[in-house]
Structures are given as C-alpha cells and as structure tokens.
Amino acid sequence: MSTYAIGDIQGCIDPLEALLDKINYDASKDQLWFTGDLVNRGPDSLRTLRVISKLPNTISVLGNHDLHLLALKLAANAYETEHNLAPILEANDCDELIDWLRHRPLLHHNRHLGYTMVHAGILPMWNIGEATQHAEEVTSILQSTTAGEFLEQMYGNEPDTWSDTLTGWERLRFIINVFTRMRFCNSNGSLILDVKSAPDSQNPNLIPWYQHPLSKNREQRIVFGHWAALMGKVDTPNVFALDTGCVWGNQLTALRLEDQQKFCVNCR
C-alpha cells in the first residue's frame, strides 16, 4: 500500500490518468491525496470531478477554484470571474458532485504518516492544532444551510492580518484566504495576496509562508499545491510543493509519501 499526493489538476483529466498509470495505481490498496483545485481552466473539469469523486481511498482538500465552483452553484450573487465551469453546473449529476465537493476539508492531517496537506499553506503563527481548528470552522459552514451566504462573502483581501478577536465573515474570509490563496506574508505575518510570482530575494518584505521566521511548523511535513510558479522547487525542509503547472502545459506531479519519491508526466 502506498500513499500518493498529487498536485493541482484543474480539469486536466488525461494527464491524471497517465500519472495513475505511471505509478501503477492500485485502487484496492493505494491511497490518493489531492491538493485541491480539481477544476477550472483545463479542458474537462466535469469528467475530472466525476472520476475523482468515485475513486476509493481518496482525500482531496478544497482549493480556490473549487470554492469558486461552489459559489457559482450555491451563492445567490457569486462574484463573477473567468471560468469554464458551465458543463458541471449544467450536468444532470451536478447536485451530487457539488454535495461531494462541499464535504471536502480545507486541511488534512495524518498523524500516522506524519504529513499535513493543504491547498495553499498554513499561516506561520498557527500550529497544526490551531490550523485544524480554524479549517473546521469553515468546513462546518460549507456543510450548513448558510453555505450560500458565506460563499457570497468569501471574496476579498481584507482583513489581511490574523487576530483571535476576528468574528463573522471577516474571520472566515481570512481563514479561507490562508488555506486557498496565500503565498507570501510580510515580516509581521500579514497576507500579501496580490503577488503570484516565485520568491525573489530582492524583495525582503515578500516572505514565502513556509520560510517565515515566526513559523510554528518547522518540524511538520506539509504538502501543498496552488503555487505553480515554484514548479515544485522548495529549498525548505519538510515542505513539498506539488503544483507544477499542469494546466499551463508543464507537468502533473505525484509524491509518494512513504519514501518522498516524485513521479511526473508531461501535460499538453
């Protein structure tokens, strides 16, 4: 039995199937972890969601594109941005797929394997216990009758600084931004959400979340996606970046957690 963590797919089902062939995936005993952003931008988000939702022994966390799909379906006035998700919204099994998606977590921690998986990252000032608790705050809302109202309110960059006193939509928006959008923080741990490039030593105010001096998780092994500009290259111990830009024509990557071996397939 092996456990494979797989980077952002974003509707690129053919590379996923090629990757599963490459790792000799055995559905009867292997487990798959997905870093989120299963849908959007790629050629076949509908088939991707159908395939992954039916795979056994599978764990997927929510990414920002997955949340946008939920908003388009559940929110009365979803923020409109460019997407190609109409085939899912018009499918006869849309309700089933959306229900499956809204029951995915924002964070998955496996104490036995010693790994934690998120889509974007973990706020440096949160330890794993605190991060798990905050992720569950959002999960409970997404599975409630107020999910649509929350999804209308989740868009935006403010607040950009954490406080235990945050309440309501602002608190939940900050938590969502950490787990699904964060790349950089400044020196005091505030989020910088409008920069998507790779880390640049020329700008010391842009600190990758996983290199932050305030980090409480240096001993934790963290798997994440979201940051395609990294191309899977991180020079920080215990941190594994798996978004290698499949949807941009680069590669789709899997990490076998037991021995940290990577497997890649090229994407068109």
Average pLDDT of span 125-135:
97
User: Which pLDDT score is estimated for 203?
Assistant: 82
CA 27 to chain CA centroid, nearest Å = 23
Using CA of residue 7, residue 8, residue 9, residue 15, what is the dihedral sign?
negative
Q: Say which CATH superfamily domain 3-157+167-181+212-266 falls into.
A: Metallo-dependent phosphatases (3.60.21.10)
Whether pLDDT at 149 is above 90: yes
Residue 126 · residue 212 · CB < 8 Å = no
**Cα–Cα–Cα angle for 214, 216, 218, rounded to 5 degrees:** 100
pLDDT tens string 36-90: 999 999 999 999 999 999 999 999 999 999 999 999 999 987 666 767 999 999 9
Phi, psi of 2 (to 5 degrees): -130, 155
Whether pLDDT at 93 is above 90: yes
Say if pTM beats, i.e. exceeds, 0.75: yes
User: Which pLDDT score is estimated for 27?
Assistant: 95
Whether pLDDT at 268 is above 90: no
